[in-house]
Amino acid sequence: MADLENKVKEVTEQAKVAADQAKDLTRAAVSDVKDEAELLKTDAKGYAQSALEDVKSEGKEVVEELKAAVKREKLDTADTEGAAGYREKEGAAPNGIAIASVALGVLSILLGGWLLKVLLGAVALVLGAKARKEKQTTLATMGFVFGAVGIIFGIINLL
């Protein structure tokens, strides 16, 4: 029996040594996994930060391009309010059609005879509408309005 007890003690000692070795190996493996996870976490943070910087940079470029496009668009169609509230393109020189429309509209109001008023008013109205389509100016609107008023006066003279 002593042999058996010695054998049991020997196997027990071997099992304890094996268990200690297994614990050490497990601890080492866990430590390696933790270290690898830390490295991966650091790499992921670096990649994420780099991607974020790229997105920010690209976003800033897109915003600047949009601002430039909006600025170009505003310059192309820069409008200011005229004295009477009519929209007028900034720096736009009055065109001949708008001036002719105003002149004919005024003549249609001032000259006598209903037929002359209606004819001149109609021409002023058409020219004013055409000038407003080409470029919205105060003169074009005035010619349009004067033409309409001339036609109304012509109809009143007829009645």
Please write the tens of the pLDDT for every residue from 121-159.
899 999 988 888 887 688 888 888 998 998 998 888 887
Name 155's Cβ contacts closer than 8 Å, sequence gap at least 6: 114, 118
- More reliable by pLDDT, 46 or 11: 11
- More reliable by pLDDT, 38 or 84: 38
Phi, psi values for residue 40, rounded to 5°: -65, -40
Predicted confidence band of residue 42 (pLDDT cuts 50, 70, 90): confident
What is the per-residue pLDDT for 57?
78
- More reliable by pLDDT, 159 or 7: 7
> Is pLDDT of 20 > 70?
yes
What is the per-residue pLDDT for 85?
47
Predicted confidence band of residue 81 (pLDDT cuts 50, 70, 90): very low
What is the per-residue pLDDT for 82?
47
Q: What mean pLDDT comes out for the span 94-99?
A: 81
Task: Express the helix, strand and coil content of the chain in percent, nearest 5 each.
Answer: 85, 5, 15
> Is pLDDT of 88 > 70?
no
Give, for 105, the enclosing helix (H) or strand (E): helix 96-110
Determine what percent of the chain is predicted with pLDDT higher than 70.
86
> Is pLDDT of 19 > 80?
yes
Give, for 79, the enclosing helix (H) or strand (E): strand 79-81
Name 90's Cβ contacts closer than 8 Å, sequence gap at least 6: 78, 79, 80
Per the structure block, which two tokens stand in for 43? 């790499």
Q: What mean pLDDT comes out for the span 21-42?
A: 86
What is the per-residue pLDDT for 28?
87
